[in-house]
Amino acid sequence: METRAHHVLIGLFTLLVVGAALLFALWLGKAGSDKQYDVYDIVFEEAVSGLSRGGTVEFNGIKIGEVTGLRLDPQDPRRVIARVRVDSEAPIRSDTQARLASAGITGISMIRLSSGKDPASTPLRPDNGEVPVIVASPSPLSRLLADGEDVILNVNELLMQARALFSKDNVDSIGRTLQHFEQATASIAAQRDEIATALRQVALAGEQANKAMLEATRTMASANRLIDGQGAQTLESARRSMAAFERAMQTVDHLVSDNRGQLDSGMHGLAEVGPVLAELRGTLASLRTITRQLEDRPADYLLGREPTREFQP
């Protein structure tokens, strides 16, 4: 009898535990059903790889809902519309931003909502059964996955070009070039004393050239002073001599004119005056030549240099 009484107590206790568990489960279900949710449509203008029904919806890293459905936009098949159910207490506003994000390394994606920066934004809530629409921003992850094939092709092409660049022939050529460069460097190092001597000689030649240029400059300055000083005086003296000779010639002409009768009457007077006139005319011609040379080439005439003669074929 006592054993049967113990079994009855154990069964009664088990029934009480199971009943309490059922009541707790019903309470949890009622609490979950009493929680309010809002429905939104999030429009993606890109592929939503990894996103499926039941996917997580986060707001600033906190789970606020889940994806209840995915469909293509009948007006534009390139757009994907994800219907989500989120907690009605979530701060969804008119400037809320949405994008596709990776939930980990498993390849599963989720929808991540974040606050906007518009201070004039207003709460976004369903109105008269109309579902609010949020346009998602392009996801860098989706863009990377979409362009992954092109990236892989570019990487493969780059690797092929690198392989061609570092082929055996090119490597041998580079090795020979480096060897020749090393030999040239060694030769230059062996001849550094000769190179230093040549450089010193070049520097010495430059100094001598500078000295020669200074001497030439001084000579030219002396010549210029000579031409400007004594040359001008000589030219002025020649001009005065020319003027004196011209006046003398005019005097002789007057004398000849005044004594025309006596000269015509006697051959003796003509014989004496003729040589004098010829000598005076020759002297005048020489003075004119000297004057022209002083005017045209004063430096050559004073320094005694011959004028440069042009070649006549």
pLDDT value, residue 310: 46
pLDDT value, residue 39: 92
φ, ψ for residue 85 (rounded to 5)? Answer: -120, 120
Reported as a single tens digit per residue, the pLDDT across 91-113 is 899 899 998 888 777 778 899 99
pLDDT value, residue 181: 80
Calculate the CA 113 to chain-centre distance.
42
Output the CA torsion sign for 218, 224, 229, 231: positive
φ, ψ for residue 68 (rounded to 5)? Answer: -105, -15
Cβ–Cβ under 8 Å, residues 86 and 40: yes
Instruction: For residue 83, name the pLDDT band (cuts at 50, 70, 90).
Output: very high
What mean pLDDT comes out for the span 264-280? 57
The more confident residue out of 282 and 202 is 202
Q: Is residue 72's pLDDT more than 90?
A: yes
Specify the pTM.
0.40
Question: CA–CA separation, 302 vs 224, rounded Å?
Answer: 11
Reported as a single tens digit per residue, the pLDDT across 123-159 is 888 888 789 999 998 877 666 655 656 667 777 788 8
Reported as a single tens digit per residue, the pLDDT across 285-303 is 766 776 676 666 655 555 5
The mean of the pLDDT values for the chain is 75
Return contacts of 74-78, CB within 8 angstroms, 24+ apart.
78/45
Instruction: For residue 312, name the pLDDT band (cuts at 50, 70, 90).
Output: very low
